[in-house]
Structure 1
Amino acid sequence: MKPGPLDPAPSNVRFADLARDLVATEAHVFWLDAGPGATSGSSYLGAGRRVLSARDGVVRLDGTIVGEDVLTELQSLVAESPVGARNGDGAPAGFRGGWVGVLGYEYGARLVGVPSAPGDLPDALFVECDRLWSLDHGTGRIDAILGDHEIGAAPEMASPSPPPSPARVSDVRPRWRHDRSAYVRAIESGLDSIAAGDVYQVCLTNEVRVPTAIDPFEVYLRLRRDNPAPFGGFLRIGGVTMAGSSPERFLSVSPHGRVETRPIKGTRRRDPDPVVDRALADDLRSDAKERAENLMIVDLMRNDLGRVAELGSVDVPDLFAVESYPSVHQLVSTVTARLAPGSTGIDAVRSSFPAGSMTGAPKHRAMTILHGLEGGARGLYSGAMGWFGADGALDLAMVIRSIVFAAGEARIGTGGGITASSDPTREVDETLLKARLLLAALGAPDTLPDASD
């Protein structure tokens, strides 16, 4: 089957149906999903056979050691990847082939040069696309970009999907890394570091694990139904599966070197009463603590991008915008730049990963403090997920509002930025707010117990 637009009309070829069939038949599969209600942008679905993984400074390609740094290996591998038709068949610009996967937080610690906790998951996982489809949300057009496209026979023959099954309430008790009292103490320690002048902000996180044999793809379908987000996604690579509904872009780079990052700092819950809901959004927009926290990360990202950007090109076209999602309002800013001659998109990732919105500022000192407070590895949480294109472009989302499935467990990271004006009780409540829909998708309770519970 030749690459190109697929018939019948997109209304009769549901991308989710195709995704379900692909997940059922392929070992290494991805769905980078702009969401069921998206009216612009693209979603990508595909699979591959070649797997690149990294752990503790050892990079393997299909199990064979090939180097020490995953971005270095990606730089050369991406340039050799097969590429689908771009413009000749009228297909939209965007991802046409390359590698898809995730960078974990501990890989970022290695880049920054700070200690990291040992973990049981890879620091990075990527698959090379040999089958790839795109969905243009502006036109509803589905394109077959790479590969023989034989799933059943063709995407137009994908089996119709039933709606996601409701999550059954489980009697399994989630295991939190820090109970409520311990997490409050960690927040207070972070506040002490801020008061001492060691750091301006730290993004402290917690983790909850739920033993489960649930189908991760069903969980993802629930997430995209109940909490659609512009950077949702489902990945299964190398025995690790991730399902997420991220609202935050970490970094995008165009083929011509335009760079964009959209850090999120600041959260309010949604309310079913429209008047109350608007008041919550307005409160977020005007809250001095939230604005200061957001501005610190904007300045950090400007500095990170400035190391690889053309002189004078770093700009902040949008500061303190409120974006609303089904469960939360978020305070979002946009930083843009243009790559300097000789710099690549991978250089931009290297200079800015892990994202400042998940570390604090200054980055090196904040990450060092967090290593002493968090008591374990973050794993893939607070890393970056997305694609590296053969044309030098890339688009990566933050791994937040996400669930990682491995070793018979579902793992959820959640946290928030701590500044001098933070209230520990409010910060604990924010971590629960961010985890609530994820735990609900697993059928798990969303309470954070105390040591005596």
Structure 2
Amino acid sequence: MQRIALGPLGALEALAARVHAEPHAFALGGDARGSVTRNDWGLAWLDSGRAATAGRSVLAVGRAVELRRGSVLIDARAALDALRARTDEQLPSPLGLIGWFGYELRDETMGAPVPSVPDAHRASWMLVDSALVVDHATGLAELVAVGKDDDVADWVARMRAAIDAVEPAAGEDARDERRGVTAEAAEPARTARTAGMVRWRDTDEHYAELVRQCLAAIREGDAYQLCLTTQATVETVDDPVTLYRRVRASSPAHHGALITLGGVSLVSASPETFLTVRDGVVTTRPIKGTRRRDSDSERDAALARELAADEKERAENLMIVDLMRNDLQRVCAIGSVTVTGLHEVESYRHVHQLVSTVSGRLRPGLDALDAVEATFPAGSMTGAPKRRAVELLSTFEAAPRGIYSGAFGMLGASGDADLAMVIRSIVVADGVATVGAGGGITALSVPEREVAEMHVKAAALLAALGVDEAARGADAPASRVI
């Protein structure tokens, strides 16, 4: 395993665009280029931190892992084992796997029947044996790789050449790009093909009716929370890198990502941690409870206080905390699962969120994939009790969720993992962008408020696609559109 220090890097966005256009040309291994089709290779650009340039950023290329239906977790573990076998050294993150699990993978983790979805929407992961890592605290970058010395040297030379080709000489352009706030990126999309052309799967009226059906199921004792969702689709002319630059500038979050695999791109500004694993300790941070931000500081603070005190939001959050505690106890040592944070308000660019934290120590012999199997899909995207909630939602929504409400991130060869919820995300395939949104329904839910909350969650992402949510509904169909 080799680590090569590069010094300051001021052109991450431009470098990402160059690598995204030709990922196989930046793969480790002398026979990578031209030996396989472009879709066999994926690109990942991950940002961790409350802002686009806080924490660290990772830029990586990897070859898609073959995942068989019914054996996704088994095949993922085999790929990690094969990477570990290349060296006796401990491999650092992000070497390992990067990708996503789609919501319909619940057929493997829960044994629940699911509608048909393309394989790429069920699960897609790439094997990462080389990566560029940028530490924004120091401003320094390094290359990490595991492979034959000649292959690593060749890859380093190609990466250096690409960096030299895009690196600004100096001055304001470099400083702007490091801040991640270039004018082009921060400006919402406004194109003839995107502006206003959003198509919701459910009209507001139908979504409100689905909320009422959830309330009826709760009154009958079938569930005590149901996470109802819907989706919007938009034709887009933006390439995924441009779209992610816009999202990371306008909606910074803990888990920023552009992952392209198998002709599908996931663009995310997710605030919610599904699972992290560090030194055998697994942590989840479910989010339940939302308020919009306000430009007036006093009104904004009042909205945050209102969220913290809201009986319905606190109950909704607590139900999912209890569910996740139960799920983690399936793989954690007895007595180790604890709630380390409850009903904490976190504020993001567009919304306030109510967040809790649950942690536990994995039992000896178990790893991050065991934790995924025990907890996926996350309770914050199903409701409770989980199995019955999933059954009811499948009936109410009557359509697959795909990648939305699944999980994405890194499964490290070191045994560590960093997985986020696929929320506040855009999925792009074949020139069509899809945005999912929804909310937890409890006995205290009001249908009209749930409709409004769903739109609040989708608004920033639709704005990045050029959609003005203020104009929504003017041309909406009177009936549901699937």
Partners of 2:82 and 2:21 in 1: CA distance: 28
Residue 304 of structure 1 aligns with which residue? 327
Q: Report if the CA contact (8 A) 2:10-2:167 is conserved.
A: no
SS in 2 for 1:428: helix
Structure 1 partner of 2:65: 52
Q: Within 5 Å, which residues of 2 pair with 1:388-427?
A: 388-427=411-450
Does the 8 A contact of 2:52 with 2:249 survive in 1?
Answer: no
Q: Does 1:34 align with 2:48?
A: yes
Q: Are 1:77 and 2:103 counterparts?
A: no
Q: Tell me which residue corresponds to 1:65.
A: none
Matches within 5 A, 1:202-351: 202-254=226-278, 256-351=279-374
The 3-state SS of whatever aligns with 1:3 is: strand
Instruction: Supply the AA of the counterpart residue of 1:127.
Output: M
Aligned mates of 2:466, 2:86 — CA distance in 1 = 40
Q: Deviations over 1:158-212 (max 9, x none)?
A: 3446653531143562111111111111110000000001101000000111122
Q: Does 1:6 align with 2:30?
A: no
Tell me by how many angstroms 1:4 deviates: 2.0
Q: CA deviation at 1:236?
A: 0.5
Please give the alpha-carbon distance, in whole angstroms, between the structure 2 residues aligned to 1:38 and 1:219. 14
1:16 to 2:13 alignment: yes
**How far apart are residue 131 of structure 1 and its match?**
2.6
Q: How far is the alpha carbon of 1:34 from its aligned partner? A: 1.8
The CA deviation at 1:448 is: 4.5
The unaligned stretches of length 5 or more in structure 2 are 24-40, 146-151, 169-176
Q: Which runs of 5+ in 1 are unaligned?
A: 60-67
Q: Which amino acid aligns with 1:188?
A: R
- Counterpart in 1 of 2:33? none
Q: Please tell me whether the aligned partners of residues 60 and 132 of structure 2 are also in contact (alpha carbons under 8 angstroms).
A: yes
Once the two structures are TM-superposed, the CA of residue 139 in structure 1 deviates from its matched residue by 2.7
Deviation of the 1:393 alpha carbon: 1.3
Decide whether the 8 Å contact of 2:287 with 2:354 is kept in 1.
yes
Residue 414 of structure 1 aligns to a residue whose secondary structure is strand
Q: How far did 1:110 drift?
A: 3.6
Report what 1:107 is aligned to: 105
Task: Give distance in 2, aligned partners of 1:86 and 1:29.
Answer: 27
- The one-character-per-residue Cα deviations of 1:412-432 (angstroms, maximum 9, x if unpaired) are 110000000000000000110
Residue equivalent to 1:98: 96
> Matched residues in 2 for 1:125 and 1:296: separation?
30
Distance in 1 between residues matched to 2:334 and 2:137, nearest whole Å: 35
Find 1:441's aligned residue among 464, 468, 472.
464
Q: 1:247 to 1:182 in 2, by over 3 A?
A: same
Report the equivalent of 2:184: 164
Partner-residue secondary structure (3-state), 1:351? helix
Q: Secondary structure at the match of 1:350?
A: helix
* CA drift at 1:219: 1.0
- Give the 3-state SS of the residue equivalent to 1:308 in structure 2: coil
> Per-residue displacement from partner, 1:236-260 (whole Å, max 9, x unpaired)?
1111111110001100112x21111
Amino acid at match of 1:387: M
Indicate the residue corresponding to 1:62 in structure 2: none
Judge which range, 137-146 or 206-215, deviates more. Answer: 137-146
Report deviation, 1:38. 6.1
Q: Secondary structure at the match of 2:184?
A: coil
Greater per-residue helix proportion: 2
Is residue 36–residue 225 contact of structure 1 (8 Å, CA) maintained in 2? no
Relative to structure 1, the CA distance from residue 111 to residue 17 in structure 2 (aligned partners, 3 Å threshold; closer, same or farther) is same
Aligned-partner Cα distance in 2 for 1:264–1:377: 22
Alpha-carbon offset, residue 17 of structure 1: 3.2
Does structure 1 retain, via aligned residues, the 8 Å contact 2:228–2:397?
yes
Corresponding residue pairs, total: 433
Contact residue 49 and residue 255 of structure 2 kept, 8 A = yes
For residues 341 and 384 of structure 2, what CA distance do their matches in structure 1 show?
21
CA distance in 2, matches of 1:22, 1:83: 27
CA distance in 1, matches of 2:160, 2:234: 34
Shift of 1:350: 0.4
For 2:262 and 2:307, the matched residues in 1 are separated by: 40
The AA in structure 1 aligned to 2:161 is A
Query: Over residues 17-60 of structure 1, what are the superposed CA-to-partner deviations in whole Å (9 max), with x where a residue is unaligned?
Result: 33222212215100111258368643221001x21255xxx34x
Structure 2 distance, partners of 1:436, 1:171, is: 13
- Give the letter aligned to residue 361 of structure 1: A
Would you say the 8 A contact 1:202–1:360 is kept in 2? yes
Q: CA deviation at 1:351?
A: 0.1
- For 1:82 and 1:193, locate their aligned partners in 2 and report how far apart those are by CA, in whole Å: 48
The answer on whether the counterparts of 2:266 and 2:426 sit within 8 Å (CA) in structure 1 is: yes
Relative distance call for 1:257 and 1:171 in structure 2 (3 A) is closer
Change over 3 Å in CA distance of 1:40–1:339 after alignment to 2: farther
Structure-2 residue corresponding to 1:64: none
Relative to structure 2, which stretch is displaced further, 187-196 or 30-39? 30-39
**Distance of 1:143 and 1:319 partners within structure 2:** 37
Residue in structure 2 matched with residue 359 of structure 1 by the alignment: 382
What is the CA distance between 1:122 and its match in structure 2?
3.0
Deviation (angstroms), 1:82: 5.9
Instruction: Give the secondary structure class of the aligned counterpart of 1:164.
Output: helix
In 1, the alpha carbon distance for the partners of 2:311 and 2:164 equals 52
Scaled by the length of structure 1, what TM-score is found? 0.90
Q: 1:126: which partner in 2?
A: 125
The answer to whether the aligner puts 1:452 opposite 2:448 as a matched pair is no
Tell me if the contact between 2:11 and 2:167 (Cα under 8 Å) persists in the aligned partners.
no
Distance of 2:139 and 2:439 partners within structure 1: 36
TM-aligned CA distance change 1:122 to 1:429, over 3 Å: same
Partner Cα separation in structure 1 for residue 406 and residue 164 of structure 2: 35
